[in-house]
Structure 1
Amino acid sequence: MPPFPRWSAALLPLFLMAAVARAADPVTPELTPRLDQLLTEEMQAVQEAMHAIHTGIVTGDHATVAERAEAIHASFILKRELTEADRRDLKAAVPDDFLKRDQRFHATAAELAEAAEAEDTGQELHLYRRMTDSCIACHGEYVGDRFPGLKGPED
């Protein structure tokens, strides 16, 4: 592998600072109480499912991984329970990237369910990591006020 040019090492801190500086303002203050409650409920359900998925991966319980990943994929509390007014409020409160990240996260959960059905532990682990990285990146970007110590990868 060819060595990196010396100037690339000098630019690395600048790239890292730019990544940190790009964090958006927290979305929580912009949410209506109802939207904040729905998002909190969805995040709690995702957290519980992610714990069960982790246990399933490390114990070879593919059925649990598939079931809980599919539950995350289908969870979309925001899609199921939003009124038209809620949808307008949500679009006013969060940037488009927030919604795109959420869609990608749920799509990755569907891929994880498929990997579990195929009993492909390596792919399960890869997708679980991708989902975890996505959580960290989104939390750092949009709810850093709730997680001030969070520093993590970009997705």
Structure 2
Amino acid sequence: MTARTGKFLATVLLGLAVSTSSVAAEPVTPKLTDKLSQLLQKEMRAVQGGMASIHSAMVMGQHESVAENAQQIHDSFILQQELTEQDRKDLMSAVPKGFIKLDKEFHKLAASLAEAGRDKDTKKQQKLFNKMTGNCIQCHGKYVSDRFPGVKSSGD
């Protein structure tokens, strides 16, 4: 699998998808294979840890740590290393296009956040971190509502 395909798939799973619509979609979790579900949970734990580290680093002015953690979220190598071609096909049949679009957006935001960390721009870091958090909320409210029934996307 190419690095680009791996990053794309990591992005797809990571967002479990941020959608531009506020209407709840059918949860994708039941459509995932056991392996994909486990990989997604592993990826989400890594993102959760990265987001917590970024928050702490931002409020302490540790720009290098913001950059490193945001870059790791952007790169998301777990899926690249562990998805087979069949896993990729299974994933693509389980998630809607809106999921993919918002997952790409999430990773693009992470790359921008890494850059803001390298630039030592705290204001921009906060703005991007907030957008990433919003994407997480949208994803969980729209595509993982079976696991997170208390999460409502803005506009829901």
Q: CA–CA distance in 1 between the matches of 2:103 and 2:42?
A: 15
Q: What corresponds to 1:26 in structure 2? A: 27
Q: What corresponds to 2:41 in structure 1? A: 40
Q: What corresponds to 2:113 in structure 1? A: 112
Q: Deviations over 1:48-91 (max 9, x none)?
A: 00000000111100011000000000115334421110011001
TM-score normalised over the length of structure 2: 0.82
Q: What corresponds to 2:126 in structure 1? A: 125
Q: CA deviation at 1:97?
A: 1.4
TM-score normalised over the length of structure 1: 0.83
SS in 2 for 1:40: helix
1:81 maps onto 2:82 in alignment: yes
Cα contact 1:46–1:72 (8 A) shared by 2: yes
Q: What corresponds to 2:53 in structure 1? A: 52
Q: CA–CA distance in 1 between the matches of 2:83 and 2:100?
A: 14
Q: CA–CA distance in 2 between the matches of 1:55 and 1:140?
A: 25
Alignment RMSD: 1.3
Q: What corresponds to 1:6 in structure 2? A: none
Q: Which stretch has the larger CA shift, 74-83 or 26-35?
A: 74-83
Gaps of 5+ in 1: 1-18
Q: What corresponds to 2:62 in structure 1? A: 61
Q: CA deviation at 1:136?
A: 0.1
Gaps of 5+ in 2: 1-20
Cα contact 2:142–2:153 (8 A) shared by 1: no
Cα contact 1:42–1:76 (8 A) shared by 2: no
AA paired with 1:146?
R
Q: What corresponds to 1:3 in structure 2? A: none
Distance 1:77 1:103, change over 3 A: farther
AA paired with 2:95?
V
SS in 2 for 1:148: coil
Distance 1:59 1:118, change over 3 A: same
Q: CA deviation at 1:152?
A: 2.9
Q: What corresponds to 1:137 in structure 2? A: 138
Stretches of 4+ moved more than 6 A in 1? none
Q: What corresponds to 2:93 in structure 1? A: 92
